């Protein structure tokens, strides 16, 4: 196959009436999907959208998202998916930087419309998706009364751009990660092979479609293999297993944060009473991988990837899960495709097993570039390897262990402390729902950092800190135990349920925030 349009039309012709998409009480066959995509393509083409043009979507999980996304691709245009939790100014930066021509807005993003229009004069067309009458916008629903003829054929190759996915932007301006038709195809095929996805499978996800995970794996992986895709509008910890039962899902794709939320819920008698055989996710709470499998009656297959490298690492389908590991390279399933991982030192020299360094990845499905940022592209793809900035180590068998983001390392008393290591220790305590740690520099730290923990306590937990400090001292070297402690009701998160630490840094002297406990001063205080 040369492009995603060819994949769409080939599967629709082959599988016809077979059920592809399940969304609530609605179902659509492969042929029905292709018909709707063609109608949407006719409507977008009439607006002047064509090869190389950018079309942005601020739309929630829905069949309409897929129809419009694939219509964009059939026209040779490029999708720019936008995180629905961004502010108007954040979204406007993406629309302007990507040179977007057409914007599709769902109900969640309609409140941003006035500001976006004022800040984005280069956008030619604004369309409402699922807004119904009175939304103040031309409606994409009108497209589905158009003829379902496919748009005129195009010369689209594997190297042609298909999407620009902007990084979360937790620090600085987000970068536009450019992926080609070939990247999508190779990754979808390899994901499907690595997790054993076949035509008889029914895969469920609640991951947002604007994100690399749901696009490359769940959505296109199922279409590539001719499987059934069950899409939830949004994640619900109380309903996820019920949806699996209702729709007979035997595979599920989740994020690490979501498996942790499910695991932290009070156990239920029917936890394992579900049809799910395999959960593909970033993992489960450290130390509880096997517990997660037993409790829910599933096989856990770990996953590690980035927007820049969706074809990355996964656990092995027919081998036991290794607690704390994110896996080995996904099995490549595309002509000429290879997939490699290494852990390197600061001079890019491979490190022996057991030593900590930077995780680097190499395949033919890496991002093509950061849009309009050649310097950042050259730095990230130095030597043909994607430099993830993530810290990790590899064992003797080639399994990789993720130890934290490179930019999330705290330097204390001459030692590097990975924030994720401390956060994992905190999360393992029954006193904690979730936690995040930062490096802070109080005046008495003499240029070194101290560790500050932001903790969401478990219901009914003792309001003091001594029990939690004692827990940390049991599992961490003392220099890794946080000095400053602050109880919070919740942690700020982006749409992928990742903690946005910049929002925790609201003042320079965090250690003096009202309610913060300093264990060093307490230790030094007279009895």
Give 351's DSSP letter. P
Residue 526: predicted pLDDT: 34
φ/ψ (deg, to 5) at 75: -90, 0
Angle between helices 63-74 and 30-46 (to 10 degrees): 60
Kindly report, as residue ranges, where domains of CATH 3.40.50.980 are found in the chain.
33-148+160-174
Contact (CB, 8 A) for 104 and 138: no
CATH ID of 33-148+160-174, from 3.40.50.980, 2.40.10.10, 3.40.640.10, 2.60.40.10: 3.40.50.980
CA distances from 282 to 52, 289, 303, 305, 387 (A): 34, 11, 5, 9, 19
Q: What's the CATH code, domain 409-524?
A: 3.30.300.30
DSSP helix/strand/coil, 519: helix
CA–CA separation, 236 vs 249, rounded Å? Answer: 16
Query: Residue-wise pLDDT tens for the chain (527 aa)?
Result: 999 999 999 999 999 999 999 999 999 999 999 999 999 999 999 999 999 999 999 999 999 999 999 999 999 999 999 988 888 888 999 999 999 999 999 999 999 999 999 999 999 999 999 987 666 799 999 999 999 999 999 999 999 999 999 985 434 578 999 999 999 999 999 999 999 999 999 999 999 999 999 999 999 999 999 999 999 999 999 999 999 999 999 999 998 878 988 998 999 999 999 999 999 999 888 889 999 999 999 999 999 999 999 999 999 999 999 998 999 999 999 999 999 999 999 999 999 999 999 999 999 999 999 999 999 999 999 999 999 999 999 999 999 999 877 778 887 866 778 888 899 889 989 999 999 999 888 877 656 789 999 999 999 888 899 999 999 998 887 888 999 999 999 999 887 778 888 888 776 677 788 899 999 887 543 32
N-to-C CA span, the chain: 74
CB burial readout 147-177, b (16+ within 10 A) else e:
ebebbeeeebebebbbbbbbbbbeeeebbbb
Residue 463: predicted pLDDT: 87
Residue 129: predicted pLDDT: 96
Q: Tell me which residue of 64, 60, 24, 65 sits closest to 243, measured CA to CA.
A: 24
Q: Which residue has the tokens 């064509």?
A: 50
Beta strand residue intervals within 159-209, DSSP E: 161-166, 176-180, 202-205
Residue 134: predicted pLDDT: 61
The CA-CA-CA angle for residues 348, 352, 356, to 5°, reads: 70
Kindly report, as residue ranges, where domains of CATH 3.30.300.30 are found in the chain.
409-524
DSSP helix/strand/coil, 89: helix
Contact (CB, 8 A) for 279 and 254: yes
Residue 432: predicted pLDDT: 95
Q: Tell me which residue of 157, 18, 148, 14 sits closest to 71, measured CA to CA.
A: 148
Q: Which residue has the tokens 């009070």?
A: 266
CA–CA separation, 30 vs 26, rounded Å? Answer: 14
- 5: which 2 tokens? 């349009």
């Amino acid at each position: 196959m040369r492009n995603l349009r060819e994949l769409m039309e080939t599967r629709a012709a082959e599988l016809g009436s077979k059920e592809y998409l399940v969304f609530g009480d609605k179902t659509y066959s492969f042929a029905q999907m292709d018909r709707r995509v063609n109608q949407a393509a006719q409507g977008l083409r009439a607006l002047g959208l064509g090869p190389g043009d950018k079309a942005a979507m601020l739309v929630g999980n829905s069949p309409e998202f897929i129809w419009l996304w694939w219509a964009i691709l059939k026209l040779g245009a490029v999708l720019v998916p936008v995180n629905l939790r961004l502010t108007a100014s954040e979204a406007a930066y993406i629309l302007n930087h990507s040179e977007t021509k057409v914007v599709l807005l769902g109900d969640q993003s309609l409140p941003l419309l006035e500001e976006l229009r004022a800040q984005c004069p280069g956008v030619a067309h604004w369309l409402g998706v699922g807004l119904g009458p009175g939304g103040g916008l031309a409606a994409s629903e009108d497209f589905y009364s158009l003829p379902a003829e496919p748009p005129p054929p195009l010369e689209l190759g594997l190297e042609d751009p298909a999407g620009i996915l902007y990084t979360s932007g937790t620090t600085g301006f987000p970068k536009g990660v450019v992926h080609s038709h070939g990247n999508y195809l190779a990754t979808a095929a390899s994901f499907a092979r690595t997790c054993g996805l076949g035509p008889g499978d029914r895969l469920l996800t609640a991951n947002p479609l604007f994100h690399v995970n749901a696009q490359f794996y769940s959505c296109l992986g199922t279409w590539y293999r001719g499987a059934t895709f069950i899409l939830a509008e949004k994640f619900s910890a109380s309903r996820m297993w019920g949806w699996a039962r209702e729709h007979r899902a035997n595979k599920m794709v989740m994020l690490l944060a979501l498996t942790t939320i499910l695991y932290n819920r009070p156990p239920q008698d029917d936890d394992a009473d579900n049809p799910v055989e395999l959960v593909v996710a970033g993992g489960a709470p450290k130390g509880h991988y096997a517990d997660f499998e037993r409790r829910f009656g599933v096989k856990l297959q770990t996953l590690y990837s980035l927007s820049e490298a969706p074809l990355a690492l996964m656990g092995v389908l027919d081998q036991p899960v290794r607690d704390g590991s994110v896996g080995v390279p996904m099995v490549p399933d595309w002509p000429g495709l290879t997939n490699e991982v290494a852990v390197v030192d600061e001079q890019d020299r491979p490190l022996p097993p057991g030593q900590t360094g930077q995780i680097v990845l190499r395949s033919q499905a890496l991002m093509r570039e950061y849009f309009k940022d050649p310097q950042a592209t050259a730095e990230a793809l130095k030597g043909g390897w994607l430099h993830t900035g993530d810290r990790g180590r590899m064992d003797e068998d080639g399994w990789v262990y993720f130890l934290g983001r490179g930019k999330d390392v705290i330097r204390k008393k001459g030692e590097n402390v990975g924030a994720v290591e401390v956060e994992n220790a905190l999360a393992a305590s029954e006193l904690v729902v979730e936690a995040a740690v930062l490096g802070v520099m109080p005046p008495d730290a003499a240029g070194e950092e101290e560790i500050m923990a932001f903790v969401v306590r478990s219901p009914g937990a003792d309001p003091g800190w001594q029990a939690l400090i004692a827990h940390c001292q049991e599992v961490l070297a003392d220099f890794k135990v946080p000095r400053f402690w602050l109880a919070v009701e919740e942690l700020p998160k982006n749409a992928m349920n990742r903690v946005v630490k910049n929002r925790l840094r609201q003042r320079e002297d965090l250690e003096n925030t009202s309610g913060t406990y300093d264990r060093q001063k307490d230790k030094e205080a007279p009895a």
